[in-house]
């Protein structure tokens, strides 16, 4: 199965948990991440001070945060296709005892 390769070229924080992302194919996605911030890796990003430290990794060209959280660029590029499954996964992670 082939996996599309996309690179994030820019980001803009628009609102709490919401980022406009531009890709190397000149497409854009505006993503509200709030509902997918569950589990040990993504839950810390509910702290806006941490979430707002998002940057583009210069090597893999995707969004990364200081705590090691990231998303595959293809997932970001095709967000509408993955959104519901990611929300469901985050909700399941929150049910797991810490």
pLDDT in tens, the chain (98 residues): 567 799 999 999 999 999 999 999 999 999 999 999 999 999 999 999 999 999 999 999 999 999 999 999 999 999 999 999 999 999 998 776 65
- For residue 73, what pLDDT is reported? 95
Bridge partners (DSSP) listed for residue 32? 18
- For residue 98, what pLDDT is reported? 58
How far is Cα of residue 58 from the mean position of the Cα atoms in its chain? 16
- For residue 97, what pLDDT is reported? 64
In order of their start, the domains of the chain are 8-95 (3.30.2020.10)
Question: Model-level pTM?
Answer: 0.91
- For residue 96, what pLDDT is reported? 64
- For residue 93, what pLDDT is reported? 83
Contact 16, 48 (CB under 8 A): yes
């Amino acid at each position: 199965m082939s996996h599309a390769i996309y690179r994030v070229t820019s980001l803009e924080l628009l609102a709490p948990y919401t980022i406009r992302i531009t890709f190397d194919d000149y497409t854009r996605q505006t993503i509200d991440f709030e509902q997918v911030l569950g589990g040990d890796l993504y839950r810390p990003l509910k702290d806006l001070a941490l979430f707002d430290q998002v940057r583009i990794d210069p090597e893999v060209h995707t969004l990364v945060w200081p705590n090691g959280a990231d998303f595959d660029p293809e997932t970001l590029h095709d967000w509408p296709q993955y959104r519901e499954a990611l929300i469901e996964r985050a909700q399941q992670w929150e049910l797991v005892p810490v």
